[in-house]
Chains A and B, each alone.
Chain A
């Protein structure tokens, strides 16, 4: 019976399943592939110089993978709250619901991890090629297939997927079935205690690391700085809904002034459901914070050391962090699409009370832009804090170098992928037949 339900659930939630599958697949590819490159470089003495950068980029990929897989799975399970409530109201026990979630997550994790392992090899070869082209390792990195990276990747793929799904399922079934069916989602506490505590602890830890950056040995400064960025990202993501409600309220007021109808809808949705919006803002924040820290840490140390990169070597740092950025950008698209799919019924209702197609499009666009802006603002803040500390470590002054085109490009990519996800996911609801399923 559980199997039948799992299958029908997958059918009903193709979007979420596809997003989860993509997240796990890419995570495993990224981690296993990055691991293969690091392992190959580790075998060669002449690559010791670039080893640090390669390891750092692999760690960034790993962190991003865990973050995105956990976020996507949790969003996927929590989105189906109504289904879980319905199943429980017809007599399914919380235990059975959890088992159902686990079965589905396990199937997705196994299939996606297997596919990811297969893709990891060509990905590693490609990365090695880029590393050679940009002059980081002129002799090239000979990639050989070793089991180590795959084991690490499978742990990320399977364990993180299952854990995230189970934690989300536990959360979903803790609420009584009737409460869920009554759609009291808006009433859930904005910031439950455990989340608030975890957020504050992570922020505190991140702050401590920022403080330590100029005080540790120079070799350890960049890893400490990236660690600070990651910890601050975790903290900001946990406390994010509060920030998002605040900024959403403010930016929403501006937008509602410019575009009364559509702006009011965008603003109301952000203020009423900041947690939902935060699941789309988190990957933006992560992209901006990590990519900026990584890229501009390299720029800053170059400037401090008086190095000017020319030709292909300009692309060394962007290449190393590139796949992690592509991954988070895909997850921006995923998360926006998932949060917007949930809204199909609401969008149709808006049409029945006379919202014009273009107004509906604008409401989706405004909301996505505000969410992206929140992610960018928080991410930039985190990166700026860590980079200032790194600059202090390198030169003794609170300062850092940055590249405006690279930054603008990052922000643009985040905004475009958010808009693409949001608009694509709502297309049917905005333009399709109004009487869906009647």
Chain B
């Protein structure tokens, strides 16, 4: 049951699924919160792979475990059992310092809101992970990234001087600067209006198409999910369905059917 999604994908694409084809691979991941009577299983032996250069959306009702999946996969939370492999390396055994290096160099995360350090300018926020690694990022590339996300001329602005959509786009630029193995986005359009949300989705789609970036996005919006190559559906901590390149209508029907 656990490796159904992976198996299906391998069967459909006709390639043999070997470890290194995946930017991230979850193996039998279980995550439980609380103890005793209040115990809640957020993830039950979930196995899934995210192929390099793919755009995956994760959907499900609230409490289905979709955010837990993202947090475990991004090394923000530690599963109780199972393995999470980023480029083949199991990150569940890493210490806090190695996890910091992982988050800095190999994984990018964009949350629904509060992605930026309030005291840093847009430019400083983008280069922060590089500076933490004592690297000097190429200014031309930073400028180019900020231009691409539509923030030309706003490099010196602090988050409080930027709109919600602009803040999201700075966060995406920051995540892309380090060319991470995978970019995770947790409801990246959840706090934005439709037009601004579309802009953010277009950027994520472009990152996949042009830079071969792997993107995993948790969302509850069928239209947002329809921009992905593949949509996983979670219920009660299990992956219950996978749709390849679905339309928003198909996703809506799929969600409606469950309700």
Residue B259 interfacial (CB < 8 Å): no
In the assembled complex, the Cα of A38 lies from the Cα of B251 at a distance in Å of: 81
Segment of B4-12, B79-87, B127-135 engaged in the interface with chain A? B127-135
Among the stretches B110-118, B145-153, B194-202, B217-225, the one at the interface with A is: B110-118
* Docked-complex contact A260 and B131, CB < 8 angstroms: yes
Among A182, A271, A354, point to the contact of B103 (Cβ < 8 A).
Answer: A354
Decide: A356 and B97 in contact? CB cutoff 8 A: yes
Residue from the list B77, B103, B159 in contact with A353, Cβ < 8 A:
B103
Does A264 contact B160, Cβ atoms closer than 8 Å? no
A349 to B76, CA, bound (A): 11
- Per-residue 0/1 for B99-121: is the Cβ within 8 Å of any A Cβ (1 yes, 0 no)? 01111110001010011111110
User: A356: which of B76, B109, B128, B132 is its contact (CB, 8 Å)?
Assistant: B132
- Interface size range on A against B: 20 to 34
Q: Which of A260, A345, A346, A356 has the most CB of B within 10 A?
A: A356
User: Contacts of A355 on B, CB cut-off 8 Å?
Assistant: 100, 104, 132
The chain A residue sitting closest to B115, CB to CB, is: A349
B101 touches A346 (CB 8 A): no
Return chain B residues, CB-CB under 8 Å to A182.
Answer: 160
Closest to A186 in B: B160
Interface mask (B152-181 → A, CB under 8 Å = 1, otherwise 0): 000000111100000000000010000000
Contact A345 B114 (CB under 8 A): yes
Instruction: Please give the distance in Å from A252's CB to the nearest CB on chain B.
Output: 11
Chain A residues lying within 8 Å of B133, measured Cβ to Cβ, are 261, 354
- Residues in B with CB closer than 8 Å to A268 are 117, 119-120, 124
Interface pair A357/B117, CB less than 8 Å apart: no
In whole angstroms, what is the CA distance A359 to B114 when docked? Answer: 21
- B32 close to chain A: CB less than 8 A: no
A261 touches B132 (CB 8 A): yes
**C-alpha gap A349/B105 in the complex (Å):** 15
| B131-A261 in contact (CB<8A) | yes
**Interface 0/1 of A271-283, CB less than 8 Å to B:** 1110000000000
Among A183, A187, A264, A273, residue most surrounded by chain B Cβ atoms (within 10 Å): A264
B100 / chain A contacts, CB cutoff of 8 Å? 351, 354-357, 359
Q: Are B131 and A272 in contact (CB under 8 A)?
A: no
Given contacts A265-B117, A435-B76, contact A187 B161 (CB under 8 A): yes
**When chains A and B are docked, how far (Å) is the Cα of A236 from the Cα of B16?**
71
Of B96, B104, B105, B120, the contact of A357 (CB 8 Å cutoff): B96
Closest to A187 in B: B160
Interface membership of A14, Cβ < 8 A:
no
Instruction: Provide the bound-state CA to CA distance between A269 and B97, in Å.
Output: 23
Asked whether any CB of chain B lies closer than 8 Å to the CB of A358, the reply is yes
Q: Is B101 a contact of A272 with CB atoms below 8 Å? A: no
A268 — nearest CB in chain B belongs to which residue?
Answer: B119
Q: Is B105's CB under 8 angstroms from A186's CB?
A: no
B90 to chain A, nearest CB (A): 19
Contact of A261 among B76, B134, B158, B160 (CB under 8 A): B134
Secondary structure class of chain B's binding surface, majority of residues = helix
Give the distance to chain A from B196, nearest Cβ to Cβ, in Å.
16
Option from B109, B117, B160, B161 in Cβ contact (under 8 Å) with A350:
B117
CB interface residues, A 404-438, toward B, < 8 Å: 431, 434-435, 438
Contact B101 A273 (CB under 8 A): no
Are A186 and B117 in contact (CB-based, < 8 A)? no
**Measured CA separation A351–B76 after assembly (Å):** 9
Chain A at the B interface: SS class: helix
- Distance A117 CA – B42 CA, assembled complex (angstroms): 54
Interface size, B (range): 20 to 34
B97 to chain A, nearest CB (A): 5
- The residue on A at minimum CB distance from B97 is A356
Asked if A434 and B77 sit within 8 Å, CB to CB, the answer is: yes
Q: Tell me, in angstroms, the Cα distance from A182 to B174 when the chains sit together.
A: 22
A254 at the interface (CB under 8 A from B): no
Q: Name A314-361 residues within 8 Å CB distance of B.
A: 345-346, 349-359
Residue of A nearest to B135 (CB): A260
Interchain CA distance A434-B133 in the complex, whole Å? 20
Instruction: State the CA gap A346–B125 with chains docked (Å).
Output: 12
* Residue B56 interfacial (CB < 8 Å): no
A185 an interface residue at 8 Å Cβ cutoff? yes
| Complex contact B102–A354 (CB within 8 A) | yes
The answer to whether A186 and B101 have CB atoms under 8 Å apart is no
On chain B, the residues within 8 Å of A187 by CB distance are 160-161
Q: What residue of chain B has the Cβ atom nearest to residue A264's Cβ? A: B131
Q: Is the CB of B131 within 8 A of A351?
A: no
For the complex formed, measure the closest distance between the CB of A276 and the CB atoms of chain B, giving whole angstroms: 10
Closest to A350 in B: B117
Residue B71 interfacial (CB < 8 Å): yes
Report if B64 contacts A (CB, 8 A).
no
CB-based contact B131/A186 at 8 Å: no
Q: Is the CB of B128 within 8 A of A346?
A: no
Cα separation A354 to B118 with both chains bound (whole Å)? 17
In the assembled complex, the CB of A205 is this many whole angstroms from the nearest CB of chain B, namely 34
Q: Is A308 an interface residue (CB 8 A)?
A: no
Q: Are A353 and B131 in contact (CB under 8 A)?
A: no
Name the contact of A354 in the complex, choosing from B104, B111, B159 (C-beta under 8 A).
B104
A357 contacts which chain B residues (CB < 8 A)?
A: 96-97, 100
CB of A310 within 8 Å of the partner chain: no
Q: List 17 A-B pairs, Cβ < 8 Å.
A: A187-B161, A261-B131, A265-B117, A268-B124, A349-B115, A351-B103, A353-B103, A353-B129, A353-B132, A354-B101, A354-B102, A354-B132, A354-B133, A356-B97, A356-B100, A356-B104, A357-B97
Chain B residues with CB under 8 Å of chain A are: 67, 71, 76-77, 96-97, 100-105, 109, 111, 114-120, 124, 128-129, 131-134, 158-161, 174
Instruction: Please give me the 10 A-B residue pairs with the lowest Cβ-Cβ distance, nearest first.
Output: A354-B104, A272-B119, A261-B132, A354-B103, A356-B100, A268-B119, A269-B119, A261-B131, A186-B160, A184-B160
Besides the contacts A265-B117, A354-B101, A354-B133, what 18 more A-B pairs have beta carbons closer than 8 Å?
Answer: A183-B159, A183-B160, A186-B158, A187-B160, A187-B161, A261-B131, A264-B128, A272-B118, A345-B114, A349-B116, A349-B117, A355-B104, A355-B132, A356-B132, A357-B97, A358-B97, A438-B67, A438-B71
